[in-house]
Amino acid sequence: MAYVVGVILFALGILISVSLHEAGHMGTAKLFGMRVTRFFVGFGPTLWSFRKGETEYGIKGIPLGGFVKITGMTEQEEAEEPTPPDQQHRVFYRKPLWQRTVVLSAGSVVHFILGFLILWILVSFVSATNPAYAEELTQGTRIQVLECLDPQECTEEDEPSPSVEAGLRTGDVLLAVNGVEVAGRECVIDGTDQPPTAWGCVVNEIRGLPADQAADFRVERDGTTTDVAVTPRNVTLTGEDGEAIEVAQVGIGQYVDPSISPTVTYGPIEGVGAAADMTGEMAVMMGEAILRIPEKVPALWEAIWGGERDEETPVSVVGASRLGGEMVANDAWVMFFMLLATLNYFVGVFNLLPLLPMDGGHIAIAWFERARSWLARKRSKPDPGRVDYAKLLPLTYTVLVVMVGFTLLTVTADIVNPIVIFK
């Protein structure tokens, strides 16, 4: 039941975000005196509507977004819905370029505001990752000595681990393994796609040691550098592909000072800066994610036909809602709202791409028209006027076909082979 509630709540969150996106367009258009004739949540048949002034507001039967009708967005629309002569000054394309730019970008700005507000509420009053804890996990090479090599539980029959026999101590900072520095570096653990960490360097170096041969472990203990001879033993592990692999181990784990809390709350003032920092980090990650979308298409296709679903492949609204359901079912509300914030930021950025039919495409055309008119004046040529959107229809349809195809691909993958985060 909690899962279903989570799916509904996340889908509702998306619908509200998209509706507010359209409200951003409408609000700024009305602010600048433009003529707004319709504002609807959803598509398809009208379920309910009312008129206030010149604008009809309502709800349609398919809750997959919303739309706002601003008179004169294109010449084609103007021809389909003529504007009375006394209202011509309110037509969209007759307004100053900066006003049109504000109206077109307002939807994305709303997404950015929503994403920031969600992050601000989380870091200020709920929970945020403690930077000191994150830094310790990423850069720390302090060790926790394990009594034996059994990954589950030590018994009296187990031999002491090589780290115990060698005299390593919990809290030692591992600097180098057999002369190879591990502190101050960041490595991806061999055979995985985990984020690079200093501890990844430790794991790689230890696993590559020959068994039953003493290796030099240089550690820092109480401010003094000490060399300790440790003889690793081979153990059998199960790799990510399910196959058994034999690696060297010495019986140590990464130690994090228990006095460092994994989470922290900042309060309303400091939370602004913390949310801004997180926004900057998300911007970088989203830029990288958008650039990597084409290379993820084959992985999505393979997932549909039974291949393992890569957790870094894109998800549709269906997949995001399913993840939201999982998070609610597992009481992971912070993850739920982080996902919703990330989605708002992503939609805001994606919508500004300079391609039709996205808002960014309309902005690019408006500025292109201005630049073209300016050049014509400089060359004493007649103003070429507005761009003929009809000539751009093939490009627009191509973008739409790609978008629809990609949407169908992600929706199908999210139905037949969804990403699962709580296993």
Which residues form the catalytic set? 22
- C-alpha span between 69 and 67 (Å, rounded): 7
Would strands 263-264 and 173-177 be described as parallel, antiparallel, or unpaired? unpaired
Select from 182, 172, 257, 179 the least CA-distant residue to 220: 172
The interaxial angle of helices 317-329 and 2-31, nearest 10 deg, is: 130
E strand spans, 172-249? 173-177, 180-181, 215-221, 224-230, 233-238, 244-249
- C-alpha separations of 206 from 5, 160, 345 in Å: 46, 18, 41
Helix (H) or strand (E) holding 60: strand 55-70
CA 421 to chain centre: 15
Sort strands 143-145 and 252-254 into parallel, antiparallel or unpaired.
Answer: antiparallel
Identity of the amino acid at 297: V
The DSSP element (H or E) to which 354 belongs, if any, is none
The DSSP letter of residue 251 is: S
C-alpha 46/C-alpha 31 separation (Å) is 27
SS3 state at 210:
coil
Q: Are 344 and 112 in contact (CB under 8 A)?
A: yes
**Sign of the torsion angle spanned by Cα atoms 311, 317, 320, 325:** negative
Q: Residues of 301-327 as b/e, b for ≥16 C-beta within 10 angstroms?
A: ebbbeeeebeeebbbbbbbbbbbbbbb
Kindly give the interhelix angle for 333-351 and 2-31, rounded to the nearest 10 degrees: 40
How far is it, in rounded angstroms, from Cα 140 to Cα 163? 18
3-state SS, 298-342, equals HHHHHHHCCCCCCCCCCCCHHHHHHHHHHHHHCCCHHHHHHHHHH
